[in-house]
Structure 1
Amino acid sequence: MTPESKDDHSLRDDVLAFRNTGEGDAVETTSPAVPRAAVPTGHLDALDALEAEAIHIIREVVAEFERPVLLFSGGKDSVVVLHLATKAFWPAKVPFPVLHVDTGHNFPEVLRFRDETVARLGIRLEVASVQDYLDDGRLQERSDGTRNPLQTQPLLDAIAAGKHDAVFGGARRDEDKARAKERIISLRDEFGQWDPRNQRPELWSLYNGRHTVGQHVRAFPISNWTELDVWRYIEREGIALPPLYFAHERDVYARDGMWLAVSDVSAPRTGETVERRTVRYRTVGDLSCTGAVLSDAATLPEIVREVAASTLTERGATRADDRLSEAAMEDRKKDGYF
């Protein structure tokens, strides 16, 4: 064995230094001499390379900014970003808090999972409540009943109150045309707004975080991942998720090509029939605007196979708020949305 190949072999051993339990906790199995993100990508498979890139982005943001925060809804993408953050700083705790904009229309299963996760990891949770803004008149209910577009102002106020200069998000480019335009490190101006015509180049994975007082950046570590990548990674790492991602029976009704759950905030209209169906959710938003898909996929391997065969993005298939207009997501992002 040459000195070069011996070094390569030891690097590969170090890549295997961290593996996870079924609960998503990283455990050390060998001596980690080299951080995973520092290993040449030629030695990694596709998921290893994506993981290394994401961990590198997270570490770069934490090193460059003073008060980062992670948007954490309890949905699969934010769960994966939080999991990557635990690996990036293991064995220390994640060195920043998580922030959830609570619309009041969230799935109860997701809120329970959110609280259990931050308690297990010992992370501080900040909550911005849309209901508080409705109660004191700063916001008004929409005629269509959805509160998802109402999250923008509470989010921007929470960022300002926490003096957060960098905000991690779980957005991916494959989700939506507007998100496909956005850089990994995306500047927001003094009003929290995004200008799609003023995007900074990110050549050779160099990220420009320069900003002035009052501005902040949004950082998207899994921007280059696909929905299938996310599910394959969840399967490989054994990451825990809210149960509604897996097939289960639920009372639903059909509307606009989606199956909406029966709840206090989403009820069938005249002519819409409630049915008991086996469904699961591909994405997590409000009960009032997030549809389920008919599915028997109750395990991670089954979900991976189902997603691999899908021809629709998760948001295109299940999010009513993205159907408000052709540019619904881009309009919300310009105003300061996720």
Structure 2
Amino acid sequence: MTTTTTAAAGSTGDTGPYALSHLDALESEAVHIFREVAGEFERPVILFSGGKDSIVMLHLALKAFAPAPVPFSLLHVDTGHNFPEVIDHRDRVAAEHRLRLHVAAVQDYIDRGELRERPDGLRNPLQTVPLLDGIGKGRFDAVFGGGRRDEEKARAKERVFSLRDEFGGWDPRRQRPELWQLYNGRHSPGEHVRVFPLSNWTELDVWQYIGREKIELPAIYYAHEREVFSRNGMWLSPGGWGGPKDGESLQTRTVRYRTVGDMSCTGAVDSDAATIEAVIAEIAASRLTERGATRADDKMSEAAMEDRKREGYF
């Protein structure tokens, strides 16, 4: 009698009829996380910007609870300098799935004098106060984010369940072990937990999953002709946020965006990848992370993201 042993799902060298593929294992883990949060917390919310990671995260949430509706609402901190194509996609997806969308607008805080414009024009660093206010007003005790550990040094330190104090601050010394996919959502009054279902995904995983599931994205993720100008080694799009300045000339180039955020700090990359297959091939050959290559706000200092996380940012 011959006995066949099947490797654990998702492990290297999986074989046999019951082994999950790499993407199936990641999907299964994320679905488990969504269901775990639904069982442990009273008022979870999904951060949803209309970018690729939040779109994949919502797709996974829809799978986790189908055929029932997603039992969470959506929250977006809008800098006012977001790409119009992405905002249109955000609103269309929320309406399609009949999800309540909470929008915390940075511009409202500036108009009330609670925040001041930065001299460099960047608004991403201004998101923390509206984010924490949005969490507090909604009484959300768990907040899903699309952060991945491969994006940036500080995010590589995150647990799947990331405990935040009553001020939204992150302290790596207070994070809990997560052995055997056991997640501890215990928190004191006033605290909350940030949850990262895509923690173990890479940018390549995300794109391969988008291709497999045929998930629609804003068109700016694919190669297209666009007017851009060069600043600090990045191709930026012109707009009311403050670009281009004197001496910065517009050019029409074929570009695409690997990540989307505030237009003042999110750069495009030269690319002819106009299909999912071409994007996957391009990413597989890249040696730079998406944030390292195209996000000016992460280049302000070696500890820029970690400093912001300690203040309450994602």
TM-score category, normalised to shorter length: over 0.9
**Which 5+ residue runs of structure 2 have no aligned equivalent?**
7-15
Code of the aligned partner of 1:222:
L
- Give me the whole-angstrom Cα distance separating, in 2, the residues matched to 1:41 and 1:335: 48
Question: What is the SS of the residue equivalent to 2:207?
Answer: helix
Instruction: Give the C-alpha shift of residue 254 in structure 1.
Output: 1.1
Q: What's 1:29 paired with?
A: none
Are 1:251 and 2:231 counterparts?
no
Contact 1:175 1:313 in 2 (8 A): yes
Code of the aligned partner of 1:123:
L
Contact 1:266 1:287 in 2 (8 A): no
Contact 1:81 1:170 in 2 (8 A): yes
CA offset digits 1:29-54 (Å, max 9, x no partner): xxxxxxxxxxx995210000000000
CA offset digits 1:158-207 (Å, max 9, x no partner): 10100000000000000000000010000000111000222211111110
CA offset digits 1:234-273 (Å, max 9, x no partner): 0000001011101111110111111001112141233222
Paired residue for 2:46, among 65, 70, 74?
A: 70
Are 1:49 and 2:25 counterparts?
yes
Code of the aligned partner of 1:69:
V
- Give me the whole-angstrom Cα distance separating, in 2, the residues matched to 1:252 and 1:228: 26
Are 1:276 and 2:242 counterparts?
no
Q: CA RMSD in A?
A: 1.7
Q: What's 2:99 paired with?
A: 123
Code of the aligned partner of 1:234:
I
Q: What TM-score results when the alignment is normalised by the length of structure 1?
A: 0.87
Paired residue for 1:313, among 286, 289, 292?
A: 289
Code of the aligned partner of 1:72:
F
Q: What's 2:156 paired with?
A: 180
Question: What is the SS of the residue equivalent to 1:119?
Answer: helix
Equivalent runs, 1:81-230 vs 2, <5 Å: 81-230=57-206
Are 1:327 and 2:314 counterparts?
no
Contact 1:118 1:124 in 2 (8 A): yes
Contact 1:249 1:276 in 2 (8 A): yes
- Give me the whole-angstrom Cα distance separating, in 1, the residues matched to 2:155 and 2:17: 25
CA offset digits 1:66-101 (Å, max 9, x no partner): 000000000000000000000000011110100000
Contact 1:70 1:99 in 2 (8 A): yes
- Give me the whole-angstrom Cα distance separating, in 1, the residues matched to 2:93 and 2:28: 23
Paired residue for 2:268, among 277, 292, 300?
A: 292
Identity rate, percent? 68
Q: What's 2:207 paired with?
A: 231
Q: What's 1:80 paired with?
A: 56
Question: What is the SS of the residue equivalent to 2:174?
Answer: coil
- Give me the whole-angstrom Cα distance separating, in 1, the residues matched to 2:18 and 2:137: 43
Q: What's 1:20 paired with?
A: none
Instruction: Give the C-alpha shift of residue 320 in structure 1.
Output: 0.5
Question: How many aligned residue pairs are there?
Answer: 303
Code of the aligned partner of 1:76:
K
Code of the aligned partner of 1:276:
T
- Give me the whole-angstrom Cα distance separating, in 2, the residues matched to 1:49 and 1:41: 14
**Which 5+ residue runs of structure 1 have no aligned equivalent?**
9-39
Contact 1:173 1:179 in 2 (8 A): yes
Residues 42 and 225 from structure 1, CA distance in 2 versus in 1: closer, same or farther, beyond 3 angstroms? farther
